[in-house]
Chains A and B, each alone.
Chain A
Amino acid sequence: MKLVADDIAVMRGEELVFSGISFAVENGGALVIRGENGAGKSTLLRALAGLLPLESGKIEIQNVEPEFGEAKVPELCHYLGAENAMKAAMSVGENLSFWQDFAGQPHHKIDEALELVGLAGLGDLPFGHLSTGQRRRISIARLLVSYRPIWLLDEPTSGLDAESARQFAGLMEAHLADDGIVAAATHIPLGLAAAEEFELTGVAE
């Protein structure tokens, strides 16, 4: 499987955020998207996920493994946005099991996922009571409860301390080892062994 972006350009409102961007990420490959804020990192990720229409160019998955059938790009991606997509009034376990049912393709069990992000046993705590770092790790756990080959991560390590960032790097390595693809927009180093860098310079004025 190969995630290919071919000369894509995206407008946000009336302004051109970036144009002529092309890259490809193979199975097991990771891509780190750098650039100061405002250069359009999040916009690029949202465009990859299919949340934003492309002004020009196209995004596609080439030589998809047969087991995925002809699923479209959004159905093969996990998108972790700046927000955690969790309901404060519901407990951690309820949130995660909702996302497992909603997204389909169950992968790790809820408790397993909580273990992997180092928050075992917090299942029935209301999500609202968690600290920002813990909330971020729960939204990472969401990526684990249902399987998607491609992870699109927008500032995944924001709010994480060094220890949980290292732990998260381990999870990403596991995902890559399992032939997954990771595309992350961040300026904090993710601590990944092999990761292509991609500099977003934004629109030349």
Chain B
Amino acid sequence: MQVRLEQVTKTFAGSKNTQATAVKELDVTIASGKLVGLLGPSGCGKSTTLFMIAGIHDVSEGHIYFGDHDVTALPSDKRGVGIVFQNYALYPHLTVWDNIAFPLLNAKEMKKRLKQRFAELSPPMANFKAYIQRLVEEAAKLVELTAYLDRKPAELSGGQQQRVAIARAIVKNPSILLLDEPLSNLDARLRVQTRDEIKRIQKQTGITTVFVTHDQDEALSICDEVIILKDGVLQQQGPPQEVYDHPANQFVAEFLGSPQINLVGGSIKANKLYLGNEEWFALPESLSDQPVNIGVRYENIRPDRENRKQAFEATVTSIARTGGTSTVQVRLADGQPMRLHRDSDDVLQEGDRVRLYARPRTVYIFNAEGEKILQC
């Protein structure tokens, strides 16, 4: 199912007669069957957007469509979405099993659909209860909770609780799945595993899925598209690699990429790009003279072994190894810092003078307002 937000705005009435606009005139289309990541800094309106799609928050202005259907006024129980809350929202009095089975057993629509599916089952199963049991167990297995089905939420660790919430959302096979930071409390292994599993389920069933995350790795590795918000305003939407490679503005460039992109001051003078005071390369387009910020990602800066013309000089100030790679900190001629990545076993030493280069197409040029004015 396609989800379309049309000029959607959400304003909260604060406790002291103040108003907070959490989402502003958001225009976004989420194509049917896609897995879309919602990214942005804390407090940018991700959860709010999700809640509006789910029908939990009223839309202050604008419209939301599921397919061709305007659901703006549709109550949440009629929207047929599945959701994982950022704070889990498990039923505290129910066991894990009951929590997962809750939507199956207690939603009329759902039950009808399940009964039908049960009837069409091949090979057929003996009874409906066993079918439910199987569904719950499958979901539990997926999130590795099979051993905990009898426990109450209070007896689970944080990550285990989160997994129950995921199982509960997935078990009902919704037509739209909304996940609010579903993996934030999981360890790396389980995280990768669960996200791959979500991806698999999503692919298999074609559920349109919106996925809030603050982890770009996650976003970049499983999402078909990402939507990037800042202060409730849409910044960019597109396939993750596309957005990564072609950030729409300085914010996106800075936000995506870990470690953060290198940003150094520079300027355009007579259609030439200056890195600090040093001339770097000539621009393919003509742009007015102005001070600019130049963004280059770590991995796009390499030692220049071929003596390229466009290389620039720097001094290694420190080297930090993290896991398999080293982060090398260098200083440009005018003192601006920059970082690059090298393999851990590279032979650079502190104090070395190196020549570095980056291909022009990996260099983003932003004006003073943070708008991207050029990427070759």
Q: Do A and B share a complex?
A: no
- Chain B residues with CB under 8 Å of chain A are none
- Chain A residues with CB under 8 Å of chain B are none
